[in-house]
Structure 1
């Protein structure tokens, strides 16, 4: 049995919601069903990742709006929304609207930096202003101010007979500002998140720093740096976790092949950003729990968002989530919501 640690308080999952471009509705509906399943299993949160110009959900906020009407309890997050693709004022309106629809369950995660393949997409995204766009943390700060209800315009009041104008984003959703997360892959970003008063999302990708290529130690160091910089918010760890307790022989073979194909990149910095990928944790719930208790990053948190492997089928996701909630979670000291 794995050694006990601090009880896990929050257990969620992440998906990108893949779809067939010839029939995109089916994939989006499958994602909504997975979120509904997560709620039935008592999981605490469901998160969607952006996939712009790919065959994954490009507008998580729109999909989460649909999810608000098919769930009643589970928290709904984005992990993460890359702000280089967004106008902060318009995004603030969308986030507040979905938060109101959800009854205050939205957990928006964001990040900054140039969009992937910036040179290929900037002409379509910002045809006239690409060179002037500020893609730094300043963009997050704008979003934070707008979500918090600071002025967005210099005019408010009645105009004409029926037009009533507000000088701040509407609807305003009190409490949403405190539920904004920053997705950090570097120590500097983790420190900035702490200074900005945001919650911290860590994931299965970090930057190799200080000569180290030990993913777990780097991730743990980033969490500690966030807290040392004044971060008092929530911290969530993300890894790819695949319990196999009730998997069929075919599923187990495919899961093992998936992890094996991705293993060569583990421990080897990738690309100019020197990105490090965490090893996928595949095995029985007891094996996965033992690996998590030995993971320096996991030992720094009481919340996790485990990523579903993106290329797997809906039935695979159902098995993985069910085993996560009914077998792995209890080994980590977690209890389903409502239990």
Structure 2
């Protein structure tokens, strides 16, 4: 088996945190329990996905605040917060607060663009300013400035018994270096590099060349290289890859059958670009850890990174996630050269 050019240094996982509308607490508790398990297994990071007006985590910063008090070591990330739903100044306050509570373990990932189904939700979200809102990279720049301690106002000092700061409080000095951008195009990768962010890649890229060929790994590799070429840190700039990976080493026959069926249903979207945005999806990787490791070692973009945050499938049961995470930590990670960070 060929070795990766970059040894796998950090391994994390990503969960969407689904819940039953009739019992939302149980779903949130399940997410927290999975993060706690991840720390016990030695994972370097746990990431939560963001969902609005759906039955998934709508407030990842709040969930990670709770996780910060139930863990000691594991890094906690968002992949990703869509900034179209957020006020950058208020979000900066929340991120800094949770980073301090976690002891400097927060890794906020963000993305840009109008909120999903904006025409249907804008009346509730921005009733007076929908047409004036900036949903482009300027929104990220505002957030970065606030997180990195740039002034938010020209007023500071004492007014009566109140003391005011000209920058967001609290300020967490290291957080600005742990800001991630979720990008799937060459333009977004370059922009993230130029602004000194870290890059989150996922199982989705834009197939921007209308003539093809449509090789997911090669497209993602071009994004990683464009990002590092634009970043002040060059080849040392941090990139994390987030493919859907389902090891089956300790799975029951029933689980293996369900996992395979899940991946098979999603395979057609991996053969050609989808929709007006020309999104190309990576195939889900299902099999033994040895089989998955072999496929990853052959993946051009994986060979270029030393951090991963493997995405857990959306619709599985709690027990399935326990099995998958355990196999990742005890079988797949070691097969990729990773060593668990455990006491």
TM class by smaller structure: over 0.9
Pairing 1:194–2:193 present: yes
Aligned-partner Cα distance in 2 for 1:139–1:7: 35
Match of 1:80, SS? strand
Q: Which residue, out of 208, 226, 242, partners 1:238?
A: 242
Gaps of 5+ in 2: none
Q: Which residue, out of 247, 263, 266, partners 2:251?
A: 247
1:166-185 correspondence runs (5 A): 166-185=165-184
Aligned-partner Cα distance in 2 for 1:27–1:249: 26
| Equivalent position of 1:64 in the other structure | 64
Cα displacement string for residues 75-94 of structure 1 (whole angstroms, at most 9, x for unaligned residues): 00000000000000000000
Q: Which residue, out of 284, 289, 298, partners 1:285?
A: 289
Match of 1:209, SS? coil
| Equivalent position of 1:218 in the other structure | 219
Aligned-partner Cα distance in 1 for 2:326–2:289: 11
TM-fit CA distance, 1:189 = 0.3
Pairing 1:128–2:132 present: no
Q: Is the 8 A contact 2:40 2:342 kept in 1?
A: no
Q: Is the 8 A contact 1:215 1:267 kept in 2?
A: no
Aligned-partner Cα distance in 2 for 1:107–1:231: 19
Cα displacement string for residues 291-329 of structure 1 (whole angstroms, at most 9, x for unaligned residues): 000111101100001000010011000000000000000
How many matched pairs? Answer: 337
Q: 1:336 to 1:39 in 2, by over 3 A?
A: same
Match of 1:257, SS? helix
Aligned-partner Cα distance in 2 for 1:23–1:338: 33
Q: Which residue, out of 303, 313, 316, partners 1:312?
A: 316
Aligned-partner Cα distance in 2 for 1:230–1:196: 7
**What is the root-mean-square deviation of aligned Cα atoms in Å?**
0.9
TM-fit CA distance, 1:231 = 5.1
Aligned-partner Cα distance in 2 for 1:334–1:245: 17
1:22-171 correspondence runs (5 A): 22-160=22-160, 162-171=161-170
Aligned-partner Cα distance in 2 for 1:265–1:231: 36
Aligned-partner Cα distance in 2 for 1:231–1:338: 32
Aligned-partner Cα distance in 1 for 2:30–2:3: 35
> TM-score when scaled to structure 1?
0.98
Match of 1:109, SS? strand
> TM-score when scaled to structure 2?
0.97
